[in-house]
């Protein structure tokens, strides 16, 4: 998604529709896929997910990255997060998060999730 960027001697600023961006990028509203008028990413340092999930939705397969860390904050609803800090064959830890609660993890930790009640959340993922 291309967005207009204001540039000055102190740096740059951009304003855009995060809801539209998140619909175009599977919930991700910021990341290397948001570019300026010249096709340059606004940032490659982190990604931000802004999403609404319906009760019953889930990610049943394990997800994991290589480097970085992530923070998810529940804005409303009830969301179950499942982590395997010793790997997929190790102990599984399940936590139910509700409004205002957060989960932080290193991207290398296998994880999955399930939506218990309709949920709005923000996830910030640092990539390095």
Tens of pLDDT, residues 2-14: 999 999 999 999 9
Are 120 and 61 in a shared domain? yes
How far apart (Å, rounded) are the C-alpha atoms in residues 52 and 64? 21
Domain count, the chain: 2
Report the 10 Å Cβ neighbour count for 86: 12
Are 66 and 40 in a shared domain? no
Q: Which domain holds residue 85?
A: 46-128
Are 52 and 35 in a shared domain? no
How far apart (Å, rounded) are the C-alpha atoms in residues 6 and 4? 7
pLDDT at 65 over 90: no
pTM attached to this predicted model: 0.90
How far apart (Å, rounded) are the C-alpha atoms in residues 59 and 57? 7
How far apart (Å, rounded) are the C-alpha atoms in residues 122 and 102? 10
Are 40 and 26 in a shared domain? yes
Are 23 and 69 in a shared domain? no
The gap between the terminal CA atoms of the chain, to the nearest Å, is 23
How far apart (Å, rounded) are the C-alpha atoms in residues 55 and 66? 29
Residue 15's pLDDT is what? 96
What is the pLDDT confidence band of residue 99, given thresholds at 50, 70 and 90? very high
pLDDT at 100 over 80: yes
């Amino acid at each position: 998604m291309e967005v207009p960027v204001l540039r000055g001697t102190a740096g740059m600023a951009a304003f855009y529709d995060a809801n539209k961006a998140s619909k175009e990028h599977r919930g991700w509203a910021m990341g290397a896929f948001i570019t300026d008028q010249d096709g340059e990413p606004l940032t490659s340092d982190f990604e931000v997910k802004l999403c609404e999930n319906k009760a019953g939705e889930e990610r049943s397969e394990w997800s994991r990255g290589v480097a970085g860390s992530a923070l998810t904050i529940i804005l409303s609803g009830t969301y179950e997060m499942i982590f395997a800090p010793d790997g997929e064959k190790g102990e599984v830890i399940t936590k139910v998060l509700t409004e205002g609660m957060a989960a932080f993890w290193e991207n290398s930790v296998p994880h999955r999730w399930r939506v218990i009640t309709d949920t709005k959340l923000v996830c910030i993922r640092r990539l390095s």
